[in-house]
Structure 1
């Protein structure tokens, strides 16, 4: 009987832990640029994707600031992919841009693993977007803010974007 209670308690702790993250490896976030237009934000992101399109910067799997592919930009929606350099997993990215009446821009970012069974991703989907943001220098724009949480962004609380 005591073994059964221990197993049940262990199962409950796993269920409670697993509810902290989305059920699939993905990340949703919002970037706010109160003083930067969506045209400038999207241009900077596309430029960074094109700079990091090749495998340069992927040497020895040490960083993943590489293998980005800009796919399309239609209306206010940009599509891209990022491929991990070691195992060549692909993550799909979508950025939705909303012009603010003040001249600023809100961006809804979403990155998700193409692998159906991915759950924990070492914050890779978050880092896919974060690395583009910091690589392009957009994180330094006046008033920039980022919003997300572990409930919509896998391992948002444990990012290692220097590696992933």
Structure 2
């Protein structure tokens, strides 16, 4: 498929889709704990899901890679086990390390330039880390996203992706 055909397809889909024109997801969370604790849990979870063990039975809770961690941001990559697609993940922390409650902006985007639909994979890239780290069960937890900023969010199946 040539570039012009892809552009025409994306333009046509933009009228049909209510979400981003590129496979991606934005989420805002609030956690009832200090940001340094949230950061530690996320970094540990990314490392724990770095191997292939979570790929069993067709799952995608695996092949995460930590690329950087600072006092304000964590970046990582997730590779899908079957097709080898790579998504870039960013967790940006609002406020300082001791901010409580901790507010985090998450973003996942496909490195594949022509990706439009993703079956909620970019949502699951982020959500699987939050759930795996147990952050969704902390007091003061909230999550905000929608189909308009998160590709196929409402139909995401994070048990699969």
Unaligned runs of 5+ in 1: 1-12
Structure number with bigger Rg: 1
Deviations 1:66-116, CA, capped at 9 Å, x for gaps: 000011012401110000000010000011001378621100000000000
Whether contact under 8 Å (2:54, 2:62) holds in the other structure is: yes
Distance 1:140 1:16, change over 3 A: same
Whether contact under 8 Å (2:118, 2:152) holds in the other structure is: yes
Unaligned runs of 5+ in 2: 1-11
Residue 129 (structure 1) aligns with = 126
Residue 19 (structure 2) aligns with = 21
Distance 1:15 1:49, change over 3 A: closer
Residue 80 (structure 1) aligns with = 76
The number of residue pairs the alignment matches comes to 149
Residue 96 (structure 1) aligns with = 92
Distance 1:103 1:146, change over 3 A: same
TM-score using structure 2 length: 0.87
- Listed as ranges, the matches of 1:27-66 within 5 Å are 27-33=25-31, 35-60=32-57, 62-66=58-62
Residue 148 (structure 1) aligns with = 145
- Listed as ranges, the matches of 1:95-114 within 5 Å are 95-99=91-95, 103-114=100-111
What value does the CA root-mean-square deviation take over the aligned residues? Answer: 1.7
Shift of 1:14: 5.6
